[in-house]
């Protein structure tokens, strides 16, 4: 039988033949071709203040930013890199793009094939114990349909932000985090100050109050975005300092100052320049030069009087007195005036004093070279009554002398105990 081909059959055969010839040719799908993706970087914070003019000592580029609660932060903006993982679906090549400053990083063009992941990371070295700034971190996934993307330069979750309220109750020079001093900034409207720092490890916090008392706390580090550890400082009605630890924990027992061993009302011709946490005071005697040599009214002293209704015998006088010894000081001492004849007039003086050779001891004016113990002094004048005696414009029975012969003018005397009581 003869096979015949019409024109249509011939055309179909030719088409199949051509198709068969092209089966081995390579054609690349369009989704496997590189495409240009434009990347920009943005901060999530709503206000930025350039710090280059405010803090020229900072080595690098920084901006101050405020979070939604108004807390200030310092963000380092220079020395970053974009790490591009273009092998998510087995296509493309990984890339690293270096960025000089993230505040001027827009319109960055990348050749990306298929799906990709882009990570923004800091490119410098960091200190875990404490930093005065944080660095940014950002991450975005790029699917095949994306050609423009913005990476948010958010706070790196490696950082824990630590703040302490700035008040006169915190001694900043003696407060530390991991043995480093805190930084200091104010909130957005400049009404509240904070000591601050960023840590990336378990940390020790030492806060020293204005009373000199140290409060110690420990921060357990955990990686958490935006973690903020705040120490709140307040006072109670009694004047005690209350430190509230982070996470609204139980406040410390109020830190209440010790009463000073001397008050300004008890001292004449001297200035109390400091009251220490243990109640000791530092005083500086006034200049007593040019005084009338017959009186010592300008020489610094503290005093205690007896009332006209009181009959106080020497043996009933209790003395607690001490000071920080210093070879440059003329040792302060105490005079106690006595009436041994019961006529209302001073006729004897007991001295209580210190020297390196004899330590603390008593002596009496009638026998000045004899060093006496308290028991020996009581045997000699224990039954004598105290009597008030004029010292310039001040009349008292007991005088603590801080500047005899003006020898301690210009010096600081630290009095660590001073209590005169009558029993």
> For position 31, what pLDDT does the model report?
60
| 172-218 per-position pLDDT tens digit | 999 999 999 998 888 877 888 999 999 999 999 999 887 777 888 89
Exposed, middle or buried by CB within 10 Å (0-12, 13-18, 19+), for 327?
exposed
CATH code for the domain of 118: 2.60.40
Residue 12 has pLDDT above 50, yes or no: no
| 63-114 per-position pLDDT tens digit | 888 887 888 888 899 999 999 999 888 888 899 999 999 988 889 999 998 8
pLDDT category, 253, cuts 50, 70, 90? Answer: low
| 325-340 per-position pLDDT tens digit | 998 999 999 999 999 9
Residue 398 has pLDDT above 90, yes or no: yes
Is 231 a domain residue? yes
Q: Are 272 and 413 in a shared domain?
A: yes
CA angle at residue 43 from 42 to 45, to 5 degrees?
145
> For position 67, what pLDDT does the model report?
81
Looking only at the bridges linking them, the beta strands covering 180-181 and 176-177 are antiparallel
> For position 381, what pLDDT does the model report?
96
Give me the sign of the Cα torsion angle 87, 92, 94, 99.
negative
Distance CA 380, CA 385 (A): 13
Q: What is the mean pLDDT of residues 214-232?
A: 88
Per the structure, the complete domain to which residue 75 belongs is given by: 33-155
Distance CA 138, CA 21 (A): 51
Is 26 a domain residue? no
Q: Are 273 and 412 in a shared domain?
A: yes
pLDDT category, 256, cuts 50, 70, 90? Answer: low
pLDDT above 90 covers what percent of the chain? 52
Q: Are 237 and 288 in a shared domain?
A: no
Q: How far is CA 115 from CA 32, 92, 135, 142, 148, in A?
A: 10, 9, 27, 6, 13
**126 three-class SS:** coil
Choosing from 95, 129, 155, the residue where a domain stops is 155
> For position 28, what pLDDT does the model report?
52
Provide the number of structural domains found in the chain. 3
pLDDT category, 49, cuts 50, 70, 90? Answer: low
Residue 54 has pLDDT above 60, yes or no: no
Q: Are 330 and 276 in a shared domain?
A: yes
Give me the sign of the Cα torsion angle 262, 263, 267, 273.
positive
């Amino acid at each position: 039988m003869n096979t015949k081909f019409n024109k249509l059959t011939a055309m179909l055969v030719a088409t199949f033949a051509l198709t068969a010839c092209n089966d081995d040719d390579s054609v690349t799908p369009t989704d496997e071709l590189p495409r240009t993706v434009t990347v920009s970087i943005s901060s999530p914070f709503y206000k930025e203040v350039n710090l280059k003019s405010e803090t020229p000592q900072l080595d690098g580029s920084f901006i101050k930013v405020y979070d939604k609660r108004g807390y200030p932060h310092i963000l380092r903006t220079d020395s970053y890199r974009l790490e591009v993982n273009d092998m998510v679906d087995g296509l493309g090549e990984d890339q690293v793009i270096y960025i000089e400053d993230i505040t001027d990083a827009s319109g960055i063009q990348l050749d990306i094939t298929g799906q990709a992941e882009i990570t923004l990371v800091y490119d410098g070295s960091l200190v875990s114990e404490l930093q005065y700034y944080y660095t940014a971190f950002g991450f975005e996934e790029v699917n095949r349909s994306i050609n423009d993307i913005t990476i948010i330069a958010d706070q790196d979750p490696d950082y824990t932000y630590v703040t302490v309220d700035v008040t006169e109750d915190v001694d900043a020079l003696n407060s530390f985090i991991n043995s480093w001093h805190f930084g200091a900034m104010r909130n957005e409207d400049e009404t509240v100050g904070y000591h601050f720092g960023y840590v990336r490890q378990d940390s020790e916090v030492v806060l020293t109050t204005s009373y000199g008392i140290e409060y110690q706390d420990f921060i357990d580090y955990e990686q958490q975005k935006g973690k903020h550890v705040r120490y709140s400082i307040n006072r109670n009605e009694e004047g005690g300092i209350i430190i509230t630890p982070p996470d609204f924990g139980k406040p410390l027992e109020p830190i209440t100052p010790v009463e000073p061993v001397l008050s300004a009302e008890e001292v004449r011709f001297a200035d109390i320049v400091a009251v220490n946490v243990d109640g000791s005071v530092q005083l500086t005697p006034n200049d007593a030069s040019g005084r009338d040599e017959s009186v010592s009214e300008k020489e610094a002293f503290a005093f205690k009087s007896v009332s006209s209704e009181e009959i106080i015998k020497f043996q009933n006088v209790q003395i607690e007195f001490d000071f920080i010894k210093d070879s440059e000081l003329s040792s302060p001492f105490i005079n106690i005036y006595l009436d041994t004849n019961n006529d209302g007039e001073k006729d004897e003086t007991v001295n209580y004093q210190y020297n390196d050779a004899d330590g603390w001891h008593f002596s009496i004016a009638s026998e000045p070279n004899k060093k006496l113990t308290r028991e020996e002094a009581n045997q000699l004048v224990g039954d004598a009554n105290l009597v008030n005696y004029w010292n310039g414009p001040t009349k008292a029975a007991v005088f603590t002398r801080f500047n005899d012969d003006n020898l301690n003018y210009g010096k600081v005397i630290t009095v660590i105990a001073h209590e005169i009581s009558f029993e």
